[in-house]
Structure 1
Amino acid sequence: MTQVAYQINERRNKDILKHDEHWDLTTADQKLALYDLHRFGYRLLFVRHMLTGPVAVISQQDDIAAIYADGEVDLRPKITLRDIH
């Protein structure tokens, strides 16, 4: 790994939030939607802040979904996750 790539990797690892910290970033509507989806096996991966508000990214095995700030669930979001391995 080159020095620059190593520094970027170190910086990313420092920015990783714990599950509880992501949970605290969600809105009440997102929490309610995730409670409903939890029974189908969905779990919270992370939360990203967008201009329209926080977007909770969730998964069920290999399926990715998004919950928007108002609680709207998108089971087919146009999200590409990068492989960090």
Structure 2
Amino acid sequence: MIFRTATREDLPVVLALPADAGEERAEVGEAHERAFAAIEADARNELLVLCEPGAAGAVVGCLRATSGGRTPTGSTNGWASRAATRGSS
């Protein structure tokens, strides 16, 4: 598996990952475009996709990582992350 930086073209696949786990499928909308732009513009945030190796490189997961600020456990200057993979919620 290979991690790479997500692009706007990945948004439909990233939004479909929770749907693969039985959740309602979300269509890419203006709010998603704004959120992606905000993540992309903020050096403290990174949105990565997990791809199968090879030429096809199908996206099978995503990871959002945020540095600095407060983590969910309350510590500071750490990393917070959230991940989703095909077939998981």
User: TM-score normalised to the size of structure 2?
Assistant: 0.31
User: TM-score normalised to the size of structure 1?
Assistant: 0.32
